[in-house]
Each structure stands twice: as structure tokens, then as C-alpha cells.
A and B are shown apart, each in its own frame.
Chain A
Amino acid sequence: MLSRADDLAKLTVLDEHGTAIELASLWRDQPAVLVFIRHFG
């Protein structure tokens, strides 16, 4: 079970324009809830 997000923090996701977003920025200012969906399309 994961306890720290350190490995995740370095990774990036893409927005709809293809711009890379650093994952750590999502929880820097407030708690973040990441909902991973199974299908996409």
C-alpha cells in the first residue's frame, strides 16, 4: 500500500491540449482527490 506520493510527484499527465502537467502541482495548495477512470473514450 502506498503511503507517500513521492514517486508520483515527479510524473506528468497531459491536458486536452497535450501540455504536460507536473503531478505534484495538483496537491501543492490543497488536498487532491485523483479519480482514475478505467476507460477513456
Chain B
Amino acid sequence: MQLHREIDTIRAAGAALYVIGNGTPSFIVGFREQTGYAGSIYTDPSLAVYKAAELKRGVLNTFDPRALGKTISALSRGRRQGRTQGDPWQQGGVLVIAPTGEIRWHHVSDRPGDNATADDIVAALPDARPISA
């Protein structure tokens, strides 16, 4: 199950979910159109947040041999990748942060497809739930 299909599970557990990308603000519109995602989404074009979140390794590791192999095989079949390579939901990493500022969980995706699941995330949430949840 892909994480973006389980966003309701995370919200039901009392957390807010934010998607953070790294393009220009205008790319947010394109991402919404491509994926149908209507939730909160922001961008960090300077990558300052990615670096502070220690996700640099995951984000810059796109040329993983396994991913490269897929690209080469796609090219050899005469298909070229467009501007967006692969799954737009491919994760660089996930942080779960409590209102106290404590980081409850920190997942760095070290290769394409190494994605966090909703179960991982819900397990990391603080016990205290908002009354409205």
C-alpha cells in the first residue's frame, strides 16, 4: 500500500500530514494535477530543510544502480523519461515531529521504493491525541 493512499489513517491518529517537495512554487500546481493530491503541500527549493532534516543522502541518491538499471532498460526499449522521473510520490524521507519539537521518527529513504508506511508513522505518533481527533 502506498503511503498517499493511507493519509486518512494518519489524520485519524491525530496528526497533520504535509508533503514537502523541492521545486519552484509553480510546481505544486503540477504535482496536484498529476497526483490528485488536495492536502497541504509546500516546497523547499533551497533544499535547506532537506539538509537540516539530514535527507541529503536519500534525495541525492536517485542514481542508485537499481534505479539506473531501470532507466537504461527503459531507454533501450525506445522510451524516454519525461521531466518527472518515476513515481511522483517517491519519498526522500519522512519525519514525525511532536508539538514539543521532539522528533519521534526519522526515516531516510536510501533508494527508490524504500518508502515509509502509514503503520510505521502511526506507531511513532505521541500518545496524546487531540480531543477532536
Contacts and interface: CB of A to CB of B under 8 A. Distances in A.
Interface residues of A, number: 35
Interface string B6-39: 0000100011111111110111111100000000
A16 B106 CA distance: 26
- Chain B interface SS verdict (over half): mixed
Interface residues of B, number: 63
B43 A38 contact: no
8 contacts: A2-B106, A26-B16, A29-B16, A30-B130, A30-B133, A33-B94, A38-B90, A38-B92
Given A31-B96, A33-B121, A37-B88, 12 more contacts: A2-B95, A5-B101, A14-B44, A16-B25, A16-B29, A26-B16, A31-B98, A34-B94, A35-B94, A38-B62, A40-B22, A40-B27
Interface of A: 1-9, 11, 13-18, 21, 23-24, 26-41
